[in-house]
Structures are given as C-alpha cells and as structure tokens.
Structure 1
Amino acid sequence: MDMERGAACYRQWIAGQEAGLAELEAALANAGATDAELRAVVERCMRGYQDYVAGRRAVSPHDGTAFIAPPWCTAFERSVLWLGGCRPTVAIRLLYNLSGEGLEAQLEELINGLGPMGPLPVGSMGITPGQMVLVTDLHRRTLLQENVLSDRLATLHEDIADQPLFPIVRQRAAAAAQPRAGGGDCDGPVGPPGGAGRGAVDAEVDAAFNSYRAAMAQLVAEADDLRMATARAMATEILTPRQAVEMLAAAKQLHLSVRDWSCRAEGAQPQPNGPRVVPANGTSAAARRNP
C-alpha cells in the first residue's frame, strides 16, 4: 500500500471534518433555517463520508491491513478503532447522551412546579419517546451486525495459526534443521524438503498474505457500509433535520477533539485548526422540537 497516499487521504478527511463542522455550526446558529436547508447540510455531511471511504478504497482496494491500525493516526486513535473506523454503535451512544442533555433540569422544574405544564420533558434536543423506540431498535440491529463482523475478524486472526501459513513455518523450520549438504557452511538459502527452492515457498507466503489482506479489505468495506447505514438511518429516518444537524456536529466535534488532544499528548503534530466547541443553540427546546 502507498502509505503517503493513505496519509494524504486521511489529512484531506480531517480538513473536510473541520469544514463540515463549521457548516453544521452555522446551520445550528440559524434559527430560521428551513427543513429543506438543514436536510441539504445533512446530505453534504453524509456525502463527505462516502467520498472519504471511496477515496481510501481507491488507494488500496485489495489491502485492508493498513486501515486496521493506520500509522497516520495517533496511538490513542488506533486503540479505539474498530475495522478502520469507529464502531457504528458509538454514534448511537452519542445520540443517547445528547438526548439526555437538559433533561434533568427540565424534570427538576416540573417536579418543583417551576416549568410549564404539558408533555413530559424530552431534553434540550427534543427527542420524543417514539424516536427513542426507533433508536433503540436501530441499536439492537446494529449491535448484531457489529458482532457478526467482529466474529469474522476473530476468525481471520485465528487463521494465522492454521492453513496455509503454519505448515510453511514448520516446513522451513525442518529445512533449517537439516544438516547442510557436504558438511560445510553455505551462505545460500536452504530449500524446504522435496527440493523446492525458497522462492517457491515465498510465493506461497505472498499468496497467503494477499488472501489475508483481501479478506481484511472486505471486512473494512462492510464495516464502512454499516457505519454509513447507521448514521444515515439516524440522520434521515429517525431525527428531524435540526436534530440530525446537532448530532452530526457533536460527532465531528468529538472526533476532532480526540484527534487534537491525542496529538498533543503524544507529541505529534496537531491539526492546524483546533477543535471548535459547538455553540449552544439559542433557540428554545420547543423550537428545537419544531424547527
């Protein structure tokens, strides 16, 4: 894999994340934005992720190994990656946390008789009970799909100790232990039993590695599809346009903040523009529920 092209693709993605966050922030600050305008912002955000996935697949269509632990990420970032990105359920967990913001204060006002009487509080984001049912169902289905991919990844890891690599390892070990012909030292490569040269065995190793890389690329591609499907389901099927903008802004803020903080902690080069805090939306909770 061309590591420089891979790193350049990621740098472009980070720049796109920053630009996307700025657009999402502007949309949140515009209380008069229509649903159509907000949907357009959401769609551009979705398209940005699709473009990134397509770009990195083009860099290495048959080798997914570099994306499992990409060297252009920090050690902390690599430690929390799942098949080349975040777990799809992390986005759902983020939405759970967002939906609870402001809920405690609203409940306290209701209990103390300080707030207006009416429907039960739904938090500052305005997630309704009906929406939460849909989110919970999506969470359940996504978790099942995650587990299937994780099991396949575990099987791929275990295959390292099986056919075809392990027999080659044993064959080479046996060949190295055989007395050299003629009893003298020889600087040349020792072939495996049966007269095959080292080159023939290397061809087998290359074939096994290429098969592993291709299988990993397939897993990363399926994980990307699941990430995209989960985010799109929340942003376009469950949430209102304004809620979707708020969720996507929070996701980008989290990503860029973790990137920046881990770069600084590890002495790496942080992003030129530090993460921006998503400004509080000046609209009321009722306005959030009815953008």
Structure 2
Amino acid sequence: MNFHNFYQKWNEQLHKLIHQLCESTPSKDEELNHLVNKVMDHYVEYYRVKANAAKNDVLAVFAATWCTTLERSLHWIAGWRPTTAFHLVYTEASLRFETQIVDILRGHRSGDLGDLSPAQFRRVSELQCETVQEENAISAELAKWQACNIVLDGTSDLVGLGMDVERKMERLVAILEKADHLRLKTAKSLVELLTPYQAVEFLIAAVQLQFGVRNWGVDYDRRSRT
C-alpha cells in the first residue's frame, strides 16, 4: 500500500476514534485514558509509516499530494508546526474560562480545559519555550541543507556541492524525522500533563481543527478547478 492509500484509510479511522471521544463519559477516567491512548497510538502508527515512506522517497513526502493545497501551504517541514498545539490549548482554555467565569468565581470547578491549574499553565509555558527552541534548531538545520546548492551539469545529472545527492537526501530524511519526532513528542507531553478529561478535549479540538482545514482545502481545490 502506498502512503496516499494509507493516509486515506488512516484518516477514516481517525474520524471513528474522534467520534468515540466525543461520545465518551467525562467522569470515567479509565475509559477516557483508554480512548486517549488509542488516538495517540494511531498517530504513532502514522509517523511510523510516514518515516518508511520518506526513506523510499522523501521528496514525495514533502510534496504531500494526499493533502490539499491549503494544508500544504500551512506545513512546516511536511507537517503541522508543533507550537500550534500550545496556541490551541491557550485558545480552548480561554474560551471555556470565559463561558464559566461566574461558576468559577462561585467556587465550582468544571475540570475541563477552562479549569487548568497554575501548575499546569506553568508547565505548558515551559514546554512551549522548549518546543520553540527545538523548532528553531530544526528550521536552521533545514536552511543549512537548502544552502548546500545542487546544480546541473551538461548531462543533466545532479551534482552535489560538498555531498552527493544520495547523502543529501538522507540528510533531508533525518531532518524530517526530527520534525515528526518533535510533533509527536509535543502532543504526548501535553496529553500527559492534562487530566484525562482535558486530554480528550484537547485531542477533539486538535483533530477538529485538522478536519476543518482539510475540508476548507478540499472545497478550495474543487472551486479552483472549475
């Protein structure tokens, strides 16, 4: 199965998993943890298959023909930017806090993302700073890779300056693996510091954003072809 077909089936299964999250019972931590782990395992499988695809043809993975034009325009090194996850947490927490502020002032606790503790906010902030540093380091590595010019000789064969083409592609694969590792590590770190209920809300919001961007992209591509 090529990666395009894998992605279609993987995306279909993700829809089913998120439906299960939406239907879950907030008070049952064991059930919530089980569903959260299923979603995270699903993403682990995605990155495992993606890594194998990159080793076979890393440029095809960067081209990401299974994605819409809009999705590709938002990519950071062939995928979502890890720091987006923190903006999502802050946005969801703020929206829920605003709708529950009266209850919170009365001492009622919702237990959702609008009810993050000071310790949780502090850890989210620390993780964000760490992730920004790692993002910048990987971006700098990609920029350095791009600066190693490749030119064409008279026979139209690629000639690498400082390294041959095969080694250059291997280096690009390594950079992509670092980016994907950071994406997965960021998601796992956030899920681990949240309560089961909060983790479910975070994953639902993240995947709904992913689905929303994809749906907008599909609509845009359809209209651009007419």
Q: Could you say which residue in structure 2 is the equivalent of 1:61?
A: 55
TM-score calculated relative to the size of structure 1:
0.69
Compute the displacement of 1:204 (Å). 4.7
**Shift of the alpha carbon at 1:121?**
9.6
Structure number with greater CO (CA < 8 Å, separation at least 6) is 1
Does residue 152 of the first structure (1) align with residue 141 of the second (2)?
yes
- 2:85 is aligned to 91
1:104 Cα offset (Å):
2.6
Q: CA deviation at 1:68?
A: 2.1
5+ residue gaps, structure 1, are: 173-197, 269-291
Mapped to 2, the partners of 1:224 and 1:156 lie a distance apart of: 17
How far 1:235 sits from its partner (Å)? Answer: 0.4
Aligned equivalents of 1:121, 1:222: Cα separation in 2:
37
Structure 2 residue 168 is the aligned partner of structure 1 residue 229: no
Counterpart of 1:26 in structure 2 is 23
Q: Which secondary structure does the structure 2 equivalent of 1:83 belong to?
A: coil
In 2 relative to 1, CA 42–244 (structure 1 residues): closer, same or farther, beyond 3 Å? same
CA distance in 1, matches of 2:117, 2:208: 24
Q: What is aligned with 2:120?
A: 131
* Cα distance in 2 for residues equivalent to 1:145 and 1:51: 23
Change (3 A) 1:121 1:47: closer
CA contact (8 A) 1:62 1:213 kept: no
Residue 190 of structure 1 aligns with which residue?
none
Q: Cα 1:213–1:96, aligned 2, differ >3 Å: closer, same or farther? A: same
C-alpha displacement of 1:249: 0.8
Inter-partner Cα distance in structure 1 for 2:18 and 2:180: 21
Question: Contact 1:17/1:256 (CA < 8 Å) preserved in 2?
Answer: no
Residues 120-153 of structure 1, C-alpha deviation per residue, up to 9 Å, x if partnerless?
9998631111100000000000010000000011
Report if the CA contact (8 A) 1:100-1:123 is conserved: no
The equivalences for 1:81-120 within 5 A come to: 81-107=75-101, 109=102, 117-118=106-107
Judge conservation of contact 1:91–1:231 (CA < 8 Å) in 2: yes
Q: 5+ unaligned residues in a row in structure 2: which ranges?
A: none
Distance 1:229 1:88, change over 3 A: same
How many residues are aligned here? Answer: 221
CA contact (8 A) 2:89 2:202 kept: yes
Taking structure 2 as the reference length, what is the TM-score of the superposition?
A: 0.87
CA shift in 2, pair 1:211/1:102, >3 Å? same
* Aligned pairs (5 A) from 1:224-263: 224-236=180-192, 238-263=193-218
- Residue identity over aligned pairs, in percent, reads 28
Task: Give the direction of change, closer, same or farther, for the CA distance of 1:136–1:119 in structure 2 (3 Å limit).
Answer: farther
The offset of 1:212, in angstroms, is: 2.6
Q: For residues 21 and 111 of structure 2, what CA distance do their matches in structure 1 show?
A: 23
Flag the structure with higher helix content. Answer: 2
Which contiguous aligned blocks of 4+ residues in structure 1 show a shift greater than 4 angstroms?
A: 119-124
The change in CA–CA distance for 1:124 and 1:157 in structure 2 (over 3 A counts) is: closer
Deviation at 1:119, TM superposition (A): 8.0
Root-mean-square deviation (Å): 2.5
Q: 1:122 to 1:129 in 2, by over 3 A?
A: farther
Measured after TM superposition, the shift of residue 62 of structure 1 is 4.8
Question: Which position in structure 2 is the counterpart of 1:142?
Answer: 131
Q: 1:43 aligns with which of 10, 18, 37?
A: 37
- CA distance in 2 between counterparts of 1:151 and 1:116 reads 46
Change (3 A) 1:124 1:227: closer
Distance 2:105 2:48 in 1: 49
Cα offset for 1:203? 7.3
CA distance in 2, matches of 1:221, 1:60: 9
